[in-house]
Amino acid sequence: MVVGDASIDIDTLVVGAGPGGYVAAIRAAQLGQKVIIADKSELGGVCLNRGCIPSKALIAAAHSYESAKHADVFGVTAENVTVDFAKTQEFKNGVVNKMTQGVTGLLKGNKVEVFKGEIMFINDSEARAFNDHESLRYRFKHCILATGSRPIELKPFPFGGRILSSTEALNLQEIPGSLVVIGGGVIGAELGQMFSKFGTKVTIIEGTDAILPGLDKDMTRLVAKGMEKTGIEIVTNAMAEGAEQTDKSVTVKYSVNGESKEVTADYLLVTVGRRPNTDGDLGLDLANIELTDRGMVKVDHQGRSVSNPKVFAIGDIVPGLALAHKASYEGKVAAEAISGLPSVVDYKGMPAVVFSDPECASVGYTEKEAKEKGFKVKSGKFPFAANGRATSVNAPDGFIKIVANEENNVVLGAQIVGIEASNLIAELGLAVEMGATLEDISLTVHAHPTLGEIVMETAELVEGHPIHMVSR
């Protein structure tokens, strides 16, 4: 092992190379900082390697399989449609490799030095970087913490064997015959629906009264309907209590309204949230980093630690939703703040997306939230079924809802459930961010026939003069 006794002076140390860390490192380097980025695992973090990207690749494969089996509505019939899941996993791994290699090239192209190994703080401005081959000391002017999060492990359901986290579920080498999912949130809904489309018998056990508890009930009802089409059993208001596994199956015990029940499946997937990676051997106490009771770093409006102004924190280790694009956004703000720019975080236009079927997306305020903030609001929902493009691709389920300020028609928020919701939300995110009005949207000519027309039609509906819907 090569040991460096003297500290190496650098401008910025970035700890964690996920979508928050690598973006922060690139932006900092663009602004003239000498940057070292360190990660003990792969570049790209959980998102590119064990989360967002691999899951979306498998979800796309599941959609293709389902489409091939049910294309008869278009007059297309395919016989003996099969899945070579090893090849599906090969496709997924190829996507992951391509994306992570891209990150490697971007860091190199921006002259960001990469250290693969652990980081441990020595004091408020120095850290040791080490792996099996070398140990270095860095003295930094600033540091950006982007250590991310990991799946929460419940004591009655320890990961191992046939009890899986999302990481192991995404790497299964065979399609399970049956699967129990504890937690009907974003990850549970996405992966449960993906496996169901491949033919797995899926049971989702959710503690609240509906799946995707953070979304409007009008949205979750459509997702639940989509799940029922592929045979998913959804058990709500349920309390998971324990599991017993053999080398071939796992039996989950749970209760509903005090009545004990159990279900046996090939695997159990536990998706009850994620825990911030601030409780390891980072030495945050030596760096004078103050945490909340939930292990989040206390930061100001630029992501700067309130207890050590040299250190910034972004992503899953600061309050707010655990979203990759939120981490990237916060990373850019932190890098710019370090360079003296007046950048601050503003979550007003922060979108959230669920890659369920149909997809769900939201940005800004819901109608309820807007009213709680004191706005006098008006809103409207326009159905996908009234759109030519949605109907022609046989995806009529869903709607777009826009919430606006009644006093000046400024768009306050929007919710979408339906095909391509993940892409459609961008226009409405821009509207919320720039303070656009309903007229700004409705007077913008949208190409026909496209799904984007639904955004325009919804704005017209809220204004009171829809064309392709009878106003009531």
Per the listing, tokens 């590119």 go with 48
CA–CA distance, 129 with 139 (Å, rounded to integer)? 11
pLDDT given for residue 7 in this prediction = 86
Establish whether 234 is an annotated binding residue: no
In tens, the pLDDT along 117-151 reads 999 999 999 999 999 999 999 999 999 999 999 99
Residue 238 has pLDDT above 90, yes or no: yes
- Measure the CA–CA gap between 185 and 35, rounded to whole angstroms: 37
Q: Which pLDDT value is given to residue 6?
A: 73
- CB-based contact 414:400 (threshold 8 Å): yes
In the prediction, which pLDDT does 471 show? 75
Look up the CATH number of domain 352-463: 3.30.390.30
Full-prediction pTM beyond 0.75? yes
Amino acid identity of residue 304, one-letter, is R
pLDDT-derived band at 5, boundaries 50, 70, 90: low
pLDDT, residue 4, reads: 52
Per-residue pLDDT, averaged over 95-107, amounts to: 97
Percent of the chain with pLDDT over 90: 96
Distance CA 423, CA 359 (A): 10
Residue extent(s) of CATH 3.50.50.60 domains in the chain? 2-151+275-338, 163-272
For domain 163-272, say whether CATH 3.40.50.20 is its number.
no
- Flag whether 147 is marked binding: yes
pLDDT tier for residue 1 given thresholds of 50, 70 and 90: very low
| pLDDT mean across residues, the chain | 96
The Cα 192–Cα 176 span in angstroms is 11
Catalytic residue status for 446? no
In tens, the pLDDT along 388-429 reads 999 999 999 999 999 999 999 999 999 999 999 999 999 999
Residue 245 near residue 266 (C-beta atoms within 8 A): no
The yes-or-no verdict on residue 332 having pLDDT over 70 is yes
Over residues 279-291, mean pLDDT = 95
Q: 403: burial class by Cβ within 10 Å (0-12, 13-18, 19+)?
A: buried
Region 317-329: mean pLDDT is 96
Write the CA distances from 253 to 160, 205, 245, 259, 295, integer angstroms.
Answer: 17, 10, 11, 11, 30
Q: Could you give the CA distance from residue 378 to residue 43 in angstroms, rounded to a whole number? A: 45
Q: Give the pLDDT score at 3.
A: 52
Which pLDDT score, from 0 to 100, does residue 280 have? 84
φ, ψ of residue 153 to 5 degrees: the values are -105, 120
How far is residue 344's CA from residue 434's CA, in Å, rounded to a whole number? 16
Least confident residue range of 267-271, 377-381, 466-470: 466-470
pLDDT tens string 32-83: 999 999 999 999 999 999 999 999 999 999 999 999 999 999 999 988 999 9
What are 145's strand-pairing partners? 15, 313
Going by C-beta distance under 8 Å and a sequence separation of 6 or more, which residues neighbour residue 141? 10, 11, 12, 125, 310, 338
Of 63, 70, 133, 448, which is the active-site residue? 448
Is residue 316 annotated as involved in ligand binding?
yes
Name the one residue in this structure whose structure tokens are 């015990």.
253
Buried b (16+ CB within 10 A) or exposed e, 281-295: ebebeebbbebeeee
Q: Is 450 annotated as a binding residue?
A: no
pLDDT the model gives residue 395 = 97
What tokens were used for 50?
């064990």
**What 3 state SS string does the chain have?**
CEEEEEEEEEEEEEECCCCCHHHHHHHHHHCCCCEEEEECCCCCHHHHHHCHHHHHHHHHHHHHHHHHHCHHHHCCCCCCCCCCHHHHHHHHHHHHHHHHHHHHHHHHHCCCEEEECEEEEEECCEEEEECCCEEEEEEEEEEEECCCEEECCCCCCCCECCEECHHHHCCCCCCCCEEEEECCCHHHHHHHHHHHHCCCEEEEECCCCCCCCCCCHHHHHHHHHHHHHCCCEEECCEEEEEEEECCCCEEEEEEECCEEEEEEECEEEECCCEEECCCCCCCCCCCCCCECCCCCECECCCCEECCCCCEEECHHHCCCCCCHHHHHHHHHHHHHHHCCCCCCCCCCCCCEEECCCCCEEEEECCHHHHHHCCCCEEEEEEEHHHCHHHHHCCCCCCEEEEEEECCCCEEEEEEEECCCHHHHHHHHHHHHHHCCEHHHHHCCCCCCCCCCHHHHHHHHHHHCCCCCCCCC
Residue 463 confidence (pLDDT) above 60: yes
What would the CATH number be for the domain defined by 2-151+275-338? 3.50.50.60
- Judge whether 18 is annotated as a binding position: no
Instruction: Find the angle CA(412)-CA(413)-CA(415) to the nearest 5 degrees.
Output: 160
